[in-house]
Structure 1
């Protein structure tokens, strides 16, 4: 970037008679060329005192940036991507709202990229998305966030990212940890406190780490109280309403049904409601149900669904905020968003035999 000489007298010795460059501004102000570029483009990623010092120097030496170069830098610096592979629409919407909360007023915009992590070439597709959009950084949402090969590929092309997952996945990347195991354990403790002993579990798909964490947390909490969950009381489903219906048909239409069911998300819990209604099973008198997510669906069902609140919007907000931390401020490597149980009307003590 070169500029015309508008204030030659104010220039340091050795610069008089020639146009200042961005390299000169960086050298004289003691900051990086990247920081000067961010100041030129009004980036929020610069501390106030640094911005004031550099802007003062630019005025003193008459530095005016090249408008074309400024436009190119702007397009590169102000887009945050969100990459997701998740079947639950409300979860993704809440995650986007959270990210937009953090970006509001920052000059950054959000662009989304749905993908299928089971398809060949999906990692190359994500990297192509990052490079074509010239992204400042990427939020990785489960299940995409759980793929170490994708994280490694982004690291290789120099793309910063934040991973959202149920537990820490490595020591180097920025993480937002959702502690799914703890939320499932709280659900188990609540059912046990009501007196339930014949309990069933509808899990998410085994390809999702969140499903493993919720399953483990629930089973371990039962085991601490001396309750072993039989294999025929555990049904894997797909985090969808339809898969919840299929799981409920296995659990509720046999000779002996459980008195309580914990599901890996609210969508599957809604599927269980449908089967119970069709079979004439009263909730909660004959069957207690707990979901996970505490999505808007939970309070809209009748009776309203007891569910583990995972604070999805807060999670998206935290992940986006980590990506746009100003230069010079400490960057958090791991943040936590902890779940907790929201008790409503879908559970009560089991009926006497």
Structure 2
């Protein structure tokens, strides 16, 4: 078989003895084909060295081969981890990742996102919390015919359109770990208002406290904004209490690092004087001293699953839109920042 200098879809169709539409279905991993036809066409594509024209395919699909990551999240490490998970799937495909930060407090947020979607015509988008919790945004994507996946700390949508973690259950287990170590005054640094993750994680804390028969003291609950500095401010308030808490659960590792910093400033030794538990298991958790006991949030795994839901069966990516998991389990990683409270035992 002589290899054409620049093989086209017409060449593939002619040699394989099928229509251009059938070749297109093979390229797009359509399930509407029998395996014999698929193998025959794929063999001809390989022999000819045919590469689909992404511009032509984009015109045919009326979409570009772009996956948008839309977010308004103060946690830069979280956004970075999501990018890594997405790019693991998009690598070696025709798809490219494009980031679109927004201001969730803006009255024009939905209009701004609509303009982005209409201009870029992405194949699909991933929505990060807290904007992923906005049902109007999901409806906007659906109305424009844009695939979307929402990331959340609890189920938000149909399985094909979400990836979620078990934040409430995971935090309850982390606080139970502190209670089992002997702690009875446990502070909580909750996440910012308007975040479902903050609601779920605080609920897990409260459930563990109440299940243990301990009093739920609102003075032990302080809100932060998921940044290091807010963890410091929250720690100042908690450690000013008399008596102060003997342990603190922080709703993310950044704020937990702020607690550790303030503890050192006050001459407190962690974990002998104060135990600390975080959430996320970002690199900071194992890099600080002592290494932080934390809840490992499987964010990169969730991002990979989201990417497969978006591009599964298209552009050379592995099919998986209907088979990818939607719910992911967070687990407690025990390190050196937890010990029994002073005077225990």
Question: TM-score if structure 2 supplies the norm length?
Answer: 0.84
The aligned counterpart of 2:292 is 305
CA contact (8 A) 1:199 1:229 kept: no
Q: Which runs of structure 2 are paired with 1:27-42 in the superposition (5 Å)?
A: 37=24, 39=26, 42=27
The aligned counterpart of 2:331 is 340
1:194 aligns with one of 181, 193, 196: 181
2:322 aligns with one of 296, 317, 331: 331
2:193 aligns with one of 194, 206, 209: 206
The aligned counterpart of 1:89 is 76
Counterpart Cα distance in 1 of 2:108 and 2:336 = 46
CA contact (8 A) 2:305 2:325 kept: no
Per-residue deviation at 1:196? Answer: 0.4
Counterpart Cα distance in 2 of 1:66 and 1:221 = 56
RMSD over aligned Cα atoms: 3.2
For the structure 1 residues 329 and 178, does the alpha-carbon distance in structure 2 shift closer, same or farther, using more than 3 Å as the test?
Answer: closer
Counterpart Cα distance in 2 of 1:112 and 1:48 = 38
Counterpart Cα distance in 2 of 1:124 and 1:53 = 47
Counterpart Cα distance in 1 of 2:24 and 2:107 = 38
For the structure 1 residues 285 and 191, does the alpha-carbon distance in structure 2 shift closer, same or farther, using more than 3 Å as the test?
Answer: same
Q: Which runs of structure 2 are paired with 1:160-175 in the superposition (5 Å)?
A: 160-171=147-158, 174-175=161-162
CA contact (8 A) 1:181 1:214 kept: yes
For the structure 1 residues 57 and 99, does the alpha-carbon distance in structure 2 shift closer, same or farther, using more than 3 Å as the test?
Answer: closer
Per-residue deviation at 1:126? Answer: 1.6
Per-residue deviation at 1:277? Answer: 1.1
Counterpart Cα distance in 1 of 2:191 and 2:53 = 53
The aligned counterpart of 1:241 is 228
1:285-334 CA distances to partner (integer Å, 9 max, x unpaired)? 11000000010000111111111000111111111011112179761486
CA contact (8 A) 1:103 1:109 kept: yes
1:57-94 CA distances to partner (integer Å, 9 max, x unpaired)? 99xxxxxx999745644893421111111111111111
Per-residue deviation at 1:203? Answer: 0.2
Larger radius of gyration: 1
Runs of 5+ in structure 2 lacking a partner?
A: 1-7, 46-51
CA contact (8 A) 2:160 2:321 kept: no
The SS at the match of 1:76 is coil
The aligned counterpart of 2:251 is 264
For the structure 1 residues 352 and 67, does the alpha-carbon distance in structure 2 shift closer, same or farther, using more than 3 Å as the test?
Answer: closer
Counterpart Cα distance in 2 of 1:66 and 1:210 = 42
1:159 aligns with one of 132, 135, 146: 146
1:124 correspondence with 2:111: yes
For the structure 1 residues 69 and 294, does the alpha-carbon distance in structure 2 shift closer, same or farther, using more than 3 Å as the test?
Answer: closer
The aligned counterpart of 2:3 is none
1:115 correspondence with 2:99: no
Per-residue deviation at 1:274? Answer: 1.5
1:318 correspondence with 2:318: no
Runs of 5+ in structure 1 lacking a partner?
A: 13-19, 30-35, 59-64
Per-residue deviation at 1:38? Answer: 5.8
* Count of matched residue pairs: 324
The aligned counterpart of 1:62 is none
CA contact (8 A) 1:167 1:179 kept: yes
